[in-house]
Structure 1
């Protein structure tokens, strides 16, 4: 029987998974390309990542509702590909939880004045408890956090947009052409910013209706895109491009970005609201990513869905990132970039391969069919490979570096 759960809840989960990484990583990643090319990169990435999520949903439709990403990959592409895909899924999920845990510790330390590491422990204990409880608990919390983000975003960004310098967002044609090569560095972070795919199986199982799950995916990626564009406009319209020289030299850390932004905001109230919004973005993404990794690891490890089994899954999902965040501080933007490189495997390459092989071998009517045919599959596959190559070009210093 089809569940009557609202699409809004699922869209909120997808948006919450996306928004934490992108909202705080994209301004630094797009500083070289600036507004025009960053906005275009976000739109392209959103379209491709929605298509790839639909392809995964289409493939899952041939299996029972408890089936996960791991299940379909092993059945269709074999054990070796499945093992590599699982490794990449856990690597990205863990590194994002690692990034959010550390960033949250810094934010809570700044707000409450308690030790950063203690703040990280408290944060994980509180917010991971929602994942431990149930998907419905995450649904409800995600809706609340998204509503809070939207309200704080409206009030906070309204204060920023009043001060936006339009002329700083758009330059001459000659200047925009010069900035075009710098957009290449944007794509690995943009891809991570739409990396909700480990939650697709959870959504399908939750709704038990592929069409509803597909609507939730589209709704979530549209919400994320709108928030990203408005946020980047507000940041680039208030911070001078030269300010990013100092931000990037400190690893693109969240607190450095917010500190630089606070230095140009006249109203202390607006600065506080933006800080609260940024915190909600990280908190909601932690819960959304945590849910996806939790369900993935439960299926992979074969743990039961009872209290004892869920506690085991909770431990292998949240404790390793917490321990690493306590032991090894890192650069936020660097972590997100590596996550983007690994995410190309399971957000683009594997979903495209699954859809292609599934369509070749499985006959009969499908509960859901991703649009675009073979052209869409090729587009998603090409995008994934290209973004992976761009990341490693950046690691080896082969991408253009902007001068601020």
Structure 2
């Protein structure tokens, strides 16, 4: 009697899109209104849409470059083959730096959040955070998929609760700055572009998506779905703020660093700022965690390719150590 082979579950596009969205949508999103206050509604929105399109296409181009390599190949293998050892050495340095500095930021932020919630020292809390959630990355891409779906759903719910009061109060005159018909907006769009660029930085995860789906076409769809989700979050947040707080009132907010607390205080007349602050805090916490596992997955797969570690339990344990312990 022939032995039955247990079929592997087919990865869902929702899961892959959630991984991409979770990498893109971080707590830094909350600073978009301050960075876009000069360009205001139309030009800020155009900057975000343009950046989303360019960053999506660049991810697809990476998939095209990976197409003729092994499914677990990442930047190291492909760059060395196409551009040579010298360019690859520089590429490896920059790719590792970006992944490492992002993980460092998420780890330290999570430690401070856990300290405020539990009273545990932030350094110890950071270690606990890494030990707990890096195991999701160590386990499998599918585990990151499942956690990302949960976190993106939670982010969506908390985001809706946070901005619903603002959305229903949007004033079109404020949204389009009708009090300033001769205002100049386009020159400020250039200042928005670097912030928009970092808001769609998911490229560490491109190779992971390709390996997860086993082909480029589904990975393309997951990337597009994730960047569209991120764009939706950004546009709704921008329109909610710009439709309630006049452009002229952003001066004091920007002068105080543009922090979300200052922004919400300026909107206190329109919303229950304490309730919104609580839901935004919950959103930020989920965003940091989702970004950690998403960026962690991309950096993990990159390090496995760089160091030639296998995909079995022993190999993944070595990759986990070299990715997260530093």
TM-score category of the 2 structures, normalised to the smaller one: 0.7 to 0.9
1:1-52 Cα distance to aligned partner (Å, 9 max, x none): 9972111111111111111165234233223322221111000000111111
Aligned equivalent of 2:11, options 5, 8, 11: 5
Gap runs ≥5 in structure 1: 321-404
Q: Cα deviations across residues 301-320 of structure 1 (Å, max 9, x unaligned)? A: 22233334333322332334
Decide whether the 8 Å contact of 2:175 with 2:242 is kept in 1.
yes
1:29-44 paired onto structure 2 within 5 Å: 29-44=35-50
Deviation at 1:156, TM superposition (A): 2.0
**Could you tell me which residue of structure 1 aligns to residue 279 of structure 2?**
273
Answer yes or no: is 1:290 the counterpart of 2:293. Answer: no
After superposition, where does 1:13-162 map in structure 2 within 5 Å? 13-20=19-26, 22-162=28-168
Asked whether the 8 Å contact 1:22–1:228 carries over to 2, the reply is no
1:190 aligns with 2:193: no
- Give the conservation status (yes or no) of the 8 Å contact 1:18–1:196: yes
Check conservation: 2:71, 2:211, Cα contact below 8 A: yes
Change in 2 beyond 3 A, CA 1:247/1:316:
farther
CA distances 1:236-260 after superposition (whole Å, capped 9, x unpaired): 34455567556555655xxx42454
CA contact (8 A) 1:13 1:142 kept: yes
CA contact (8 A) 1:22 1:189 kept: no
- Against the structure 1 CA distance between its residues 266 and 133, is the aligned structure 2 distance closer, same or farther, given a 3 Å change threshold? same
* CA-atom RMSD in angstroms: 2.6
Post-superposition offset of 1:125: 2.6
Q: TM-score, normalised by structure 2?
A: 0.87
Please name the residue that 1:257 is paired with: 260
1:316 counterpart (306, 316, 322): 322
Distance 1:319 1:90 in 2: 14
Give the gaps of 5 or more residues in structure 2. 1-6
Cα distance between partner residues in 2 of 1:247 and 1:200: 36
Contact 2:256–2:262 (8 Å) recurs in 1: no
Distance 2:116 2:246 in 1: 25
Residue 392 of structure 1 corresponds to none
Query: 4+ residue runs of structure 1 moved beyond 6 angstroms?
Result: none
* Corresponding residue pairs, total: 317
Q: Secondary structure at the match of 1:92?
A: helix
TM score, norm. by length of structure 1 = 0.71
Distance 2:46 2:8 in 1: 38
